[in-house]
Amino acid sequence: MLTTRSGLLGIDANGIRILSKYTNGAIEGRFSVSGEISSIIIRDADIAYFSVLGEGIYEASNSWNNFTLLAASPNPNLLAVFGTGLLANMGGRLNFSSDGVTFLLASGIASTDTVTAAEFFGVQTAVAVTGKKIYRSLDGGRHWYVVLDTLRKTNSSYVDHTHKSIFVGGQNCLKSLDSGASWQTLSSVPFPFLTGPVFGVRDCSGTFYIGPDGFTHGTDIYRSIDQGRFFQQAGPAMFSSIRMIKSVVLDRGSTIFWLDSSGLLGCVRDGIDSVITDSVRDRILVQPDSGIRNSLCPNAAATPFNITLMFDQCTGIVLDSLKQVSSSPSFTTAFRPAFLGDTTMQIPFTYRASHTGWDTAHYRLRFHSLITGNIEQKFFSIAAFGAPGSPELNFSPPQMDFPQILLDSATRIAASISNPGCDTLVVDTIFSTNPAIFQLSSKPYPVHLAPGKSLPIAITFNPHLEGDYLETLVIETNAGNRNITLRGSGKAAKIEAVTESARVQGMRIFPNPSNSVLAIHADGSLPQEIILYDLLGREIMRLQTGGANEISADIHSLPDGLYIFDFGSGRYERIVIRH
């Protein structure tokens, strides 16, 4: 049954022959009938149904202001409503309506059985109890079949749509998890026989109650918050000396009506134990994106970000408006009214910095509940950072992997340094940690790059020793330094055994291989300086020749291996040391 917080249908105690509509506590309209009103079911804020003894079933439409007799019957009792589907007893026999207008006799219910309670599980699935049996229908109430006939008494039913469970009260409290096909007895119920009703709330908790009989088992109402696994006392019924025979739960479980066997009607507005409220404000979690920043550069685009809303109540809410309560034109949003269920939603925002430093905006979100009609509001804040205009360093590619090449050959990779910032980028220097192997194209540093400009560079890989190389390209600028990884691998061609090196531009090294002292001879003058490297490119020895045509080198302390003599001007010679 549904209602709104401000609107309510009720019946006067004077013979129960007058239907009244209350809005904000005041009577708006009254509809008199000749017989007693036996049942009222509210479908939504526009449509309600009620049954009148001696007359039949009525529809109250147009916000419960217009009344239409749907079906005449001397002894009607409206049982259940779901959409346009209706179930009602007429003359002791179950009738159904699939269009909310025309009633037809249902089949499958024994003529000796009278349905005392019924519930729709969905548009087509419904269950009904008849005192000793539970029936099930799979076609909206047209045809029924027995699913359980071993009970002594059943008198009420309740469907928890959120957790897809059905509960029946009577001899025991029964539960079905397969839309009424099979049933299990809840052993957690504190007393064995339920003469009071089983009824539940409309939020996502799945909380439901079992009512007392007022005699054998006292007057306390019991509550389960875990779909029947455990029960706890929830407080006394309305009147200690009478039985509660029927109840109606409205709102989110906060408004509950009791009808007892003596005809008295009672009501609470804050739940049975006075702790349930209609407010869902605290169930909404507002989470802005983190690290929101925007540059003060004149051509910088606004920074997009999101506010994520999370709601854990399946009843859902309608987001009506979002207003900035403190003036901050730096923040804008494209909010539109929308429905928020038990899920997440993102509201897009943009931030354009107007000053350096932190910027804050405060918002008020208005929303209302479709169940209670309550209009509420939630406040939250957003913080973002305005970054000053500055140069930016961008290097492409992020790292440089050279292919494996033969020794003393070379390969080149082109790269570029760009400035996407809004101030001049000054490139102070660029160098390799091993310039003999990874060589850079020559540039006159420092280089000034205006916003949006780039500087092309090239790095050449020229290995002289076999193996893998791992070095770093260092870029130093006024926007910070950047280290770029340089990787490459040198591969030697097949080396034949030699006794001395081949002549390279009139020079020779002998003996080669050598184990103690070797000689370097030139037809003319040797370079002023000759450098010896190991396979890792580390300098081992530096020889000063003074321009002579021959010089000797003591290598008896060096480990066995392959070494490189660098004669300068791109001239290299390999030697083998073998002790």
C-alpha to C-alpha distance for 109 and 94, rounded to whole angstroms? 7
Predicted local confidence at residue 5, as pLDDT: 42
User: 569 pLDDT exceeds 60?
Assistant: yes
Least confident of 212-226, 349-363, 465-479: 212-226
- Which position has the higher pLDDT, 175 or 499? 175
Helical segments of 225-341, H only: none
- Which position has the higher pLDDT, 138 or 235? 138
Q: Can you read off the two tokens belonging to residue 58?
A: 């009525």
Predicted local confidence at residue 259, as pLDDT: 66
pLDDT bucket at 495, cuts 50 / 70 / 90: very low
Q: Can you read off the two tokens belonging to residue 72?
A: 């005449």
Give me the long-range contacts of 237-243 (CB less than 8 A, separation at least 24). 237/196, 237/211, 237/212, 238/264, 238/266, 239/214, 239/264, 239/266, 240/214, 241/214, 242/214, 243/195, 243/196, 243/212, 243/213, 243/214, 243/215
3-state secondary structure of 281: helix
Predicted local confidence at residue 57, as pLDDT: 93
236-251 pLDDT, tens digit each: 665 544 556 666 676 6
114-149 pLDDT, tens digit each: 998 999 999 999 999 998 899 999 999 999 999 998
Predicted local confidence at residue 9, as pLDDT: 60
C-alpha to C-alpha distance for 283 and 280, rounded to whole angstroms? 5
3-state secondary structure of 283: helix
Q: Can you read off the two tokens belonging to residue 196?
A: 């009071």
- Which position has the higher pLDDT, 55 or 263? 55
CB-CB contact of 231 with 189 (8 Å): yes
- The whole-number average pLDDT for the span 1-10 is 47
User: 503 pLDDT exceeds 80?
Assistant: no
Predicted local confidence at residue 429, as pLDDT: 93
Q: Can you read off the two tokens belonging to residue 390?
A: 């500055």
pLDDT bucket at 27, cuts 50 / 70 / 90: low
**Residues contacting residue 290 through CB under 8 Å, at least 6 positions apart:** none
Q: What is the CA radius of gyration of the chain?
A: 44
In eight-state DSSP terms, residue 573 is E
What values do phi and psi take at 301, rounded to 5?
A: -80, 155
User: 201 pLDDT exceeds 90?
Assistant: no
C-alpha to C-alpha distance for 118 and 131, rounded to whole angstroms? 12
Handedness of CA 202, 205, 282, 342 (dihedral sign): negative
User: 97 pLDDT exceeds 70?
Assistant: yes
In eight-state DSSP terms, residue 143 is B
How long is the chain? 579
- Which position has the higher pLDDT, 27 or 315? 315
Q: Which of 192-196, 244-248, 296-300 has the highest mean pLDDT?
A: 296-300
pLDDT bucket at 24, cuts 50 / 70 / 90: low
Residue with tokens 């925002």: 349
Predicted local confidence at residue 118, as pLDDT: 93
User: 16 pLDDT exceeds 70?
Assistant: no
Predicted local confidence at residue 499, as pLDDT: 40
What values do phi and psi take at 238, rounded to 5?
A: -60, -45
Predicted local confidence at residue 6, as pLDDT: 45
User: 347 pLDDT exceeds 90?
Assistant: yes
* Amino acid making up residue 238: M
Mean pLDDT estimate for the chain: 84
435-482 pLDDT, tens digit each: 889 999 888 899 999 888 999 999 999 998 888 899 999 999 998 899
CB-CB contact of 572 with 565 (8 Å): yes
- The whole-number average pLDDT for the span 422-434 is 90
C-alpha to C-alpha distance for 384 and 390, rounded to whole angstroms? 18
Q: Which of 84, 191, 163, 77 is nearest to 128 (CA)?
A: 77
